[in-house]
Structure 1
Amino acid sequence: MTACKGMCISAFVALTATAGFAGAANAQDAKALLEEASKLPTFEAPGEAFDAKACMADKKVYVIPLTSENPFNVEIAKAQKEAADAIGFELTVSENQLNLDQWVQAVKQAVSEGYDVIDIQGGIPPEAIGPQLAEAREAGVKIVATHLYDVTQTPSELVDGNFAMDYTKAGQLMAAWAMEKTGGKVNAVIIGSDEIIPTGAFVKAIQEYLDANCPDCKHKYINVPVVEWGSQIQPEVQSALVADPGINYILPIYDSMSGFVVPALTLSNREDVRIASYNGTPFILDMIRDGDLMEMDVGESLAWVGWSSIDGTMRLLCDKGEITQLNTPLYLFDDSNVETAGVPATYGGYGDGEISGFKKLWGLE
């Protein structure tokens, strides 16, 4: 298979000059999006500086992750705990195995032990534990949601603080990448899971970007519930390839799906098809480095997510301005820079500017 070495983001300038797709303005927009996301992230303060130690004196935060068995949730919680320790307030992370009864019990424990905030972190639908969250709010506990909604979505009325992720921009980046790499001739299969809250907005962003900027582009959407990823993604992709031999990109919106896409391409003898996705999961970054059909992944620093969520929580508690979006930048990984995430890959590769940035913002440095 052909490697991208030396012809990734920088070479798109030459491509757009010759491809002539979707008009010069649309091509330039795609190129600009990709070039911006290819720069190493830098810290931008999400609000005014404040004294975090004074703000959080005698306050406690209780984090309920979607599951303690998902490295995604674990990494965010680890960063939240590191930020809390740097400031000096109590933060507890509950343990659960994606179990509703455990979520319910965690909320009750947080209320009974006098916590000030409950953070439903990384995917718990508020309505799933609606009665318990309502009781917590009646008891004076604030409810925040970290990395649950897209920036275009309206959060549940059960949520006091919404720290949303820009899934919309991630989708636009995936669409722009495929446009650039095909010279405006995208024929893509988009894969998502409709039961995950941000999926609808994420998929819509890809579809609308292609429709608006690439008149010769085609796309098909396949919904595969999370519990069926292992059994259904591969046959669904194989069927799509048979039905339309012109498919040239698979765009799974959550990158762990890609592990089931690669076998479908290999067994279908379609190693000309490429994969672009989102999350920055380490084993997926290893696939990019190894040249295993995975071409690009839109990554985000989970450490940055954790520190940013703590910033939003403190601002909510201490009346320091509302934060509705994580200030976590998106960063493109391809074969030109993927080794910066480590060999084997880790959740790093984004620099560490957010830690010193938040410490200065909070008066710790």
Structure 2
Amino acid sequence: MKIRRYFNRASVAALITAMGAVPTLADEAADGLARATEIIESHRAVPVYEPAGEAFDIRKVAEGKKMLSIPNTSANQFLKGIIQREIAVGKEIGLEVREWENQGNPNQWVQGIEYAIANDFDIVDLISGVNPAVVEPQIEAAREAGVKVFTSHFYDPSQPANELLAGDLPVSFYGQGYILGNWMIYKTGGDARAIVVKSDEVPPTAPLVQGIHDALTENCAKCEILQEINVGITEWGTKIQPSLQSALLANPTANYVIPIYDSMSQFVVPAVELTGKSETVKIATSNGTPFVLDFIREGQVEMDIGESLDWIARATIDGYMRGLAGLPMPKDIGVPYYLFDESNIETAGVPAVPNKGYGDDYVKGFHKSWMME
């Protein structure tokens, strides 16, 4: 995504100066709200599929191949959903896909790569959260054994990928943060006061949180981040709820909580409810995990930036198979963002499912790109 290009405070100021106008604070606030509104409305249309490159016979490339997907933790329902769809898509094209179950311990990631080497896998998929820097000796061993190690949905395009990888499929985490920041501006009319829940140990956290800050800086001088709560992945279940309850009591003017990864919401929602803030504090997040979409329908979460788990699975496999075929890999994973809120949440299914609400043209698009039509 190229969200940065749409609006920039410096360019707006230069335009005003060139026009000979002196903006008032009210003018700046109104302009910022208008920009935020335009950004939000641009993500309400059902996403459109765009091919990642030339068409190729994916079944020919995938035949007899095996892929081991290693999530940062199998407790993360967003990643679990992607891998389930990878397994299903693999069956469509003749690729055997398995998940390496783990509880977020780096030693378990090491064991997963070692298992892939010992069992003649062709691909290791380090999916969203497994930091290649932590397992570099194993990646080197995999390379020597002819096993290609890729990452997907891990790096922001602004971040250089680990040089030992066979390839990577980044996603604009900055863009997610920028949308979240502008959502708060849009919904509060320019009066957002937020608490952000994050995990700094995950490299994509930094650009995502920066996107939130930049949105507020560019489009809402009055808005502010009251507090940032940093919780390690393995501690989400024990620390998010009590930490957030304390933060909400310490910041009584807060009107938003932003759990930057939506699987955090299972611990955020109880914290907001137990502090009696459900009417005054809204929750906006990103990823589009089905159980969080159900929270929207139930009125517990206001908005989730949806990424079709099925679309991510197809785009991931598409990119990796292109790499195996000697074709250029896409510069990013290419999965559009789509906003779910009370106005369209029913389209995600009741209960929500990973691949509903995004239309089905993208499936046809992938089949055409894969010469399956």
Task: Judge same fold: TM > 0.5, yes or no.
Answer: yes
Instruction: Give the drift of 1:188.
Output: 1.0
CA contact (8 A) 1:46 1:327 kept: yes
Deviation at 1:59, TM superposition (A): 4.0
Which amino acid letter does the alignment assign opposite residue 188 of structure 1? A
- Aligned partners of 1:65 and 1:73 also within 8 Å: yes
Which residue pairs with 2:264 in the alignment? Answer: 257
* Matching residue's letter, 1:44: E
Unpaired runs of 5+ in structure 1?
Answer: 1-18
1:128-180 CA-to-partner distances (Å, cap 9, x unmatched) read 22211111112332210022222222222222211112211111111111101
How far, CA to CA, are the matches of 2:87 and 2:267 in structure 1? 33
Tell me the equivalent position of 2:4.
none
Query: SS of 1:188's equivalent?
Result: strand
Tell me the secondary structure at the aligned position of residue 179 of structure 1: helix
1:273 corresponds to which of 281, 284, 290: 281
Deviation at 1:304, TM superposition (A): 0.7
Q: In the alignment, is residue 186 of structure 1 matched against residue 192 of structure 2?
A: yes
Per the normalisation by structure 1, the TM-score is 0.87
Other-structure match for 2:331: 324
Q: Post-superposition shift, 1:25?
A: 4.5
**In the alignment, does 2:317 pair up with 1:310?**
yes
Q: Which residue of 2 aligns with 1:54?
A: 60
Instruction: Describe the superposition over 1:72-100 as per-residue Cα deviations: whole angstroms up to 9, x where unpaired.
Output: 22321222223332222343433444344
Q: 2:308 corresponds to which residue?
A: 301
Within the candidate set 60, 66, 78, 2:84 is matched to: 78
Query: What is the match of residue 33 of structure 2?
Result: 27
| Match in the other structure for 2:5 | none
Query: What code does the residue aligned with 1:232 have?
Result: K
State, as a whole percentage, how many aligned pairs show the same letter.
43
Tell me if 1:229 matches 2:236: yes
Are the equivalent residues in 2 in contact too, given 1:192–1:252 (CA < 8 A)? yes
Instruction: Give how far 1:23 is off.
Output: 4.7
Higher deviation after alignment, 326-335 or 68-77: 68-77
- For 1:356 and 1:344, locate their aligned partners in 2 and report how far apart those are by CA, in whole Å: 24
- Root-mean-square deviation (CA, aligned residues, Å) is 2.3
Which one-letter code corresponds to 1:314 in the other structure?
Answer: M
> Which sits farther off after the overlay, 256-265 or 45-54?
256-265
2-side partners of 1:238 and 1:269: how far apart? Answer: 10
- The one-character-per-residue Cα deviations of 1:175-199 (angstroms, maximum 9, x if unpaired) are 1111011111111111101112211
* Aligned residues of 2:104 and 2:233 also touching (Cα < 8 A): no
User: Residue 298 of structure 2: which of 290, 299, 305 is its match?
Assistant: 290
**2:318 counterpart SS class:** helix
Instruction: Please give the TM-score of this superposition, normalised by the length of structure 2.
Output: 0.85
Deviates more, 1:65-74 or 1:143-152: 65-74
1:21: Cα distance to partner? 6.4
1:79–1:302 Cα contact (<8 Å) kept: yes
Q: Which deviates the most, 50-59 or 145-154?
A: 50-59
Structure 2 runs not aligned, ≥5 long: 1-24
- Output the amino acid matched with 2:370: W
Give matches, 1:1-365, under 5 Å: 22-23=28-29, 25-219=31-225, 220-270=227-277, 271-292=279-300, 294-347=301-354, 348-365=356-373
Judge which range, 344-353 or 310-319, deviates more.
344-353
Distance 2:235 2:116 in 1: 33
Structure 1 residues 95, 361: CA separation in 2 closer, same or farther (over 3 Å shift)?
A: same
